[in-house]
Structure 1
Amino acid sequence: MSTAAPRTAGPDHLWSVDEHLDDILATVRPLEPIELHLLDAQGCVLVEDVTVPVSLPPFDNSSMDGYAVRVADVAGASEQYPAALEVVGDVAAGQADLLHVGPGQAARIMTGAPLPPGAETVVPVEWTDGGLGEGPVTGMRAGSLDPGGATGQVRVHRPAEARAHVRAKGSDVKAGDRALAAGTVLGPPQISLLAAIGRGTVRVRPRPRVVVLSTGSELVQPDEELRSGQIYDSNSFALTAAARDAGAIAYRVGAVADDATTLRDTIEDQLVRADLMVTTGGVSVGAYDVVKEALSYAADEDEPGSGVEFRKLAMQPGKPQGFGSIGPDHTPLLALPGNPVSSYVSFELFVRPAIRTLMGLTDVHRPRARAKLTADRPLTSPRGRRQFLRARYTDGTVTPVGGAGSHLVAALAQADALIVVPEDAESVAPGTEVEVVLLG
């Protein structure tokens, strides 16, 4: 994986949301393609078109259990005057040596079995007496086929048009067709198609490996006892789940205490399995914001082009951000704020597009829409900052949920959208059309 060097700016520069995002996307590069077996390629992005080597289906075959016959032999057949045909044998799925169906004859055929030479159509077993008429025949009841051999006679009660209940060779895809285009994300249907055309491996960009690490001596893992001044570590769970939702293979690292040496050692240990590092907490101006201290080593003379820059963004929530690359492979690192809402909003705006870029996708952003604001009172927003408010989106309308506080996790759990309030707006009245980020 290669990354370009992030831009740098002075410590007093106030970055816009777009500047920060553009810098991330200009720095992160798609992962190198590899050849993977089909099930290992699930969720990955194809890097080349896949051409069909053999038509699907590869031969004319029956879509029903029934009898393969000639059209002329069943023309005019009815309940009162059934067509009596000689049963010359069975045709089963997978059968290579096919018998021939001549005038006045029928071959008992199973679903998926190839249409035998001479036959022009298939009559379902429900249109017959199941081979239970006169003559020495091993028969079948209507609606089912006995897998044993069949000879004797069958009576057909209905006519059939040419190629009725016949799946034509190439009716799904033809040899030489493009089965899947480069850029396709491989889900279960696409993997099914690849297997059906005989492809056991494909060339794809692998799913990026994302390591999520939270910081803070106050953090306790769920199921542990809370003591005075402690809170549960929710950020690492939220961001790991969000990374997986974005398409990554994500690893969660338990909260690291506010110690720069410990944090640095942990990050270095995790680089071996990371295409992208994400930290949360410790990026503002507090005395114990150790992420800055721990990552200051990254801009080492032995690692030209690396380093993490900590920035102030003109946004709310999520003003403090960090971005750069670390380690010998220049692994991208995004340092997010520690407040839960700030962390999650920052992930959606910056980390998710980075993950999708690593995957090799061209459309890396959440979809956006215009919606009518429904609210009890006008929305207020600090001038000069782009605000992202949690909301519910329904049929072209959007309603805020919870307040503006960046610690309100319960409100975040109710949201499926973000209202975008632009930098030049200090108030948005109910009924106004606003931009909305749809969170899926």
Structure 2
Amino acid sequence: MKLLKRILILLLLVIGVVVYLNYPKLTIISGYASKNMASSVFVAERSAASITQNDNNVPLIKLANTEVDVQEKSASSSVYGLMERKAVYREGLGTVLVNDEYDPNATNFKPNRFQQQDTIPYPHGQGVPLDSIIVEINQDQLNQAIAMAFGNQEVQKTRTLLILYKGHLIAEKYVEGFTKDTPILGWSMTKSVLATCYGVLEHQGKLEMGWPAPITEWEKDDRKEITLNHLMRMQSGLEWDEDYSKISDVTQMLFLESDMTLSQREKMLVARPTEVWNYSSGTSNLLSGILRQQFRSHQEYLDFPYKAFIDKIGMHSMVLEADIAGNYVGSSYSWANTRDWGRFGQLYLDRGHWNGEQIFDEEWVEYITKPTVHSEDQYGAHFWLNAGGKYPDVPKDLFSCNGYQGQYVFMIPSKDLVVVRTGLAEEPEFDVNSFLSAVVKSVQ
């Protein structure tokens, strides 16, 4: 009996220590669970059961109990009844985590969409993809590459796959529950979408990447040396902790802040610009705030990405989610179906040229694919690179949009390829090098 009491006391102590150490994380856990649930249900139109069974069934997040209110268009989560968080849906702006600063009665602007239907074959239009026989393609090798991507689903967890070759759809596959119309959360692929806004503005002659960042507070100290280019390349020298395993700069920004553009803006220098490379989602949201400054009204800012290129190239499924303050969360929250992510890749493969119009300068592609100092040739300007040979069996001119849990849009100019892969696992569970190598070999 005494032994049993000691065991129970020890168990309670262990539980107490675990709760004490993890209690601050509970708001992040419930915040992630409710936000992901609400967006997946009301933006992607997937079932709550599927989200619980798959998307939120990951370490720590699966501890949260989440309920969906269809009428209110919201989702609420808590961990054993503690730290309840709610995320609500707003038309055109996706979902947002509610806090004490959220006013449900506030006037919410929403972006105007500029969607037109046409009969031009996909990817350059809304029409049916061309049914073309391309002699350069080794179909057996291509089928092997596709099988490789979807093999061992318990580990690789690939959900959707699309391959474009010379602007032709040559492969497309979806797991059960996903179709060509299902929006996928791009996570940090959103950074590349945000960067494209700057490429368009530069093409229009409205800004230059060498300009100092237009932040009044920085004019009083050494931060005045930071340029738009430094921010786009993640080499500003500003302090930032991109650690998702604890309450850090990035988790506090994404799950606690009302205005995500301020998180990086308020940080001080830890190095001079270009001295270090430090991946920072806060920098991307800072750039979203600077983008907003380029317009006379909030409405113009909200409309710009859609009017400038998203709807222009037919990415009609895309939704850019905004924070409570109405800023696009340029670091993390964009949704689009797999075909529309393919359009985005094709836009870059075509060097900004789309149906007779130049969306951004051809030189913009040279800019975003130029390796950033101290990044080991793996990063350009809000795009990832293979210039340093990260994928040894894939052409070094590959550049890509990368997102959490293995969301990818790969562009390989030397092979005229765009490859989109989405899922719930990234490297090493999903072997990018072997998969892409197999794809490349199929078109040689």
Class of the TM-score when normalised by the shorter of the 2 chains: under 0.3
Structure richer in strand, relative to its length: 1
Greater share of residues in helix: 2
What TM-score does the superposition give when structure 2 sets the normalisation length?
Answer: 0.22
Q: TM-score, normalised by structure 1?
A: 0.22
Which of 1 and 2 has greater Rg? 1
